[in-house]
Amino acid sequence: MHNHMSHFSLKSLFGAVFLFFAFSFGLKAQDGAKIFKQNCAVCHSSHTDQKLTGPGLAGVFDRAPKGTWLHDWILNNEKVIKSGNAYANKIYNENGKAAMTVFEGQLTDKDVDAVLAFIQGPPPAGPTVASGSTGTSDNGAVEEKGGIDPLYLLLGGIVIIAIIIGALRSVRQSLQNTYNRKEGKAENPDMTFSQEVKQWMGGHRRLVGVFVIIICFVGMKSCWNACFDIGVYYDWETKTGYKPEQPIKFSHKIHAGENEIACQYCHNTVEKSRHAGIPSVNVCMNCHKGISKTANEGSEAQIAKIYYAAGFNPKTAMYDMPQNPLKWIKVHNLPDHVYFNHKQHVVVGKQECATCHGDLKKMTVAEQQAPLTMKWCIECHRKTEVAMEGNPYYDRLHKALKEKYKGQYDVKFTVDKIGGLECAKCHY
């Protein structure tokens, strides 16, 4: 019996396996760059000695103690400092005792190894991350999570399927030739996989045609559905949305929930302008000039970032340091061709912030909880009644409508009935 397994393209198979593992290991530094941008770039420059909130990391492997010190420091710097480590306490004191974020529980050992590989490697080809930036754009990716990357699973699955197909082809062909010899027939000619596929398709043209039509329709339907999600940072399956890492870990739950600070205190233009406005660091300093630490874990390090941004020196209680503007990442994004007016909805429409933004009083990290699609807005306009009663904005309209329909029937005047579905209302 001939060994027909040799006719299966082993060279191609081993090539695929090699590319899979090479690609997997090649992604390590790339993943490290992504994790660094999301978690570290706010305070550290990766390949220069420029001091941001924390020191630049150029040459850090020469300065830091050998062994697992850097790994332990990144995961839990507070633990290393409390252990009495001399170098850890030296770094802590040199940086104004501003503790680094504790990443234990947020990053895995593999994540830390990837970050260290990125720092130790050559500088990235693109532009360096500026001070105060997380390295993600307004359309940035969602938070990195542990576990196996789906891309690795896909590539591994392709390799395994290729091996199984090759083995099954070899067994089938060997069994067929054994049967042919027993029956006194000639052995089947050796064919490559592509030749076998072409032969099968030639003998089953109708079935192939049906498959092609089905695949085309499924593909077109998938593209049509995908168009509705362009620019929408919302996962319909998990009901979670865009939640970027911010330069300061600001908690709405603590400020708006536990301390009951009104949304308008920080977003002071929400009742006066189409924009809610991002509060300046001076608004933060109204309270935190006298509050440098709270009972919440890690608060001192986060408040130190506010001081760094405002140029405030807590030792002298003066603004005698360079200012470093914060670069907050916008969570709720609308396309450029969409017009939305906060004043119209909050003051005239009497809508609560939670209608569009979710219950921020329960959120530690601000997250998009509504899809903010055109369909979602239209449905809201169709079911939301116009707040006419006692609203000076609609006094004349309310009086006229009451007279016009007096004694006829009860009409619910929803937003769509007063032009809320007109294209020009929301699109320029």
What's at 239, amino acid-wise?
K
- Same domain, yes or no, for 257 and 123? no
What's at 93, amino acid-wise?
N
pTM: 0.50
What's at 275, amino acid-wise?
H
Nearest to 365 by CA among 255, 210, 190, 243: 243
Task: Judge whether 55 and 46 are in contact, CB under 8 Å.
Answer: no
Nearest to 255 by CA among 282, 298, 289, 288: 288
Where helices occur in 41-108 by DSSP H, the ranges are 60-63, 69-75, 77-82, 86-94
Answer whether residue 203 is part of any domain: no
3-state secondary structure at position 44 = strand
Nearest to 373 by CA among 344, 334, 340: 334
Answer whether residue 210 is part of any domain: no
User: Domain tally for the chain?
Assistant: 3
Answer whether residue 239 is part of any domain: no
CB count, 10 Å around CB of 145? Answer: 9
Nearest to 79 by CA among 102, 63, 47: 102
- What CATH number is attached to the domain comprising 41? 1.10.760.10
Give the pLDDT of the chain (428 residues) as one tens digit per residue.
Answer: 444 444 444 445 555 555 544 444 444 555 788 888 777 876 787 888 777 667 888 888 888 898 888 888 888 888 888 898 988 888 888 877 777 878 887 788 888 888 888 888 887 654 333 333 333 333 333 344 445 667 788 888 888 988 888 788 788 778 877 888 888 887 777 777 777 778 888 888 999 999 999 999 999 998 887 777 776 777 766 667 888 889 999 999 999 999 999 999 999 999 999 999 889 999 999 999 888 888 888 899 999 999 999 999 988 889 999 999 999 999 998 888 899 999 999 999 999 999 999 999 999 999 998 988 888 999 999 999 988 888 888 888 878 877 887 777 666 788 988 889 999 989 97
- Same domain, yes or no, for 264 and 146? no
Query: Domain limits at 391?
Result: 373-428
The β-bridge partners of 403 are: none
d(CA 214, CA 189) in angstroms, rounded, equals: 33
DSSP secondary structure of 136-203: --TTPPPPP--S--HHHHHHHHHHHHHHHHHHHHHHHHHHHHHHHHHTTPPPPPP--HHHHHHHHHHH
